[in-house]
Amino acid sequence: MKSGEMRSMSGEELESHIRELRQEIFNLRFRKSAQQVDNPVRIREARHELARALTIKRERALGISPGPSGQ
């Protein structure tokens, strides 16, 4: 999901998305330890997406608006 899509979410939707990503990362790491991961790159993608979501949450808390490029 792109940052623009996350920015259009409400606060509750963003919180829900963050919880889902954390659960997905946990499950992927668990499956990786059991060597049952279908797509190991998804772990990295999920971590990046979580970081994006947490950044947007923090921006909202501080009242910071995105830059002119929209990212």
Q: Where are the domains of the chain?
A: 3-62
Q: What is d(CA 49, CA 71) in angstroms, rounded to the nearest whole number?
A: 13
Whether the full predicted model's pTM is greater than 0.85, yes or no, is no
Tens-level pLDDT at each residue, the chain (71 residues): 888 899 999 999 999 999 999 999 999 999 998 888 888 899 999 999 999 999 999 999 999 876 545 55
Alpha carbon of 48 to those of 34, 63: distances in Å?
23, 22
User: What class has domain 3-62?
Assistant: mainly alpha
Residue 54, pLDDT score: 96
